[in-house]
Amino acid sequence: MILPVLQQPDPLLREKSIMVSRSTPEIKQLAADLLETMYALGNGVGLAAPQVGRLYRLFVFDVSEGRNQPGALLNPEIISHNKETAKHEEGCLSCRNFDGVVERYTKVTVRGLNLDGKKVTIKAEGLLARVFQHEIDHLDGILIIDKAEPVPPEQKRSK
């Protein structure tokens, strides 16, 4: 089911999400709905549960070219990162009229649970590392507008 995505300044977007004690059928359905919503909106590569008003530490992602390699993480945490950072333009499905340049680590290692409740550790770099950091920010009530330098309209990338 396609869910409505909350828009800034909705106060729920500023709340810290709660840990998910285990993967349940309801959590799996929420993850499926998040993916369906993300795909329906066209240009998103990640979507966190708080963006649809559910304050769970859960997000979904798909950075594949064919948009056919979805993933989901419960209770994700960055356990390590490299020292190198890069600035790159980002958008946000909850801040539709804002694009900004955000400095983020180029490589991160994230630990969490998959939808089967198994512990997973993912080493990510490039776009996937950026998506993980962006979505974990959402779980902590942090939005792109808190970190980004706005991009002037004439310099925005085409979407």
Which residues are annotated as catalytic? 135
Do the annotations mark residue 81 as ligand-binding? no
CA distances, 101 to each of 2, 22, 68, 105, 157 (Å): 29, 35, 27, 13, 11
E strand intervals along 37-136: 46-48, 58-61, 71-81, 85-90, 100-105, 107-113, 119-125
Do the annotations mark residue 88 as ligand-binding? no
Cis peptide bond N-terminal to 4, omega within 30: no
Q: Which residues are annotated as a binding site for Fe cation?
A: 92, 134, 138
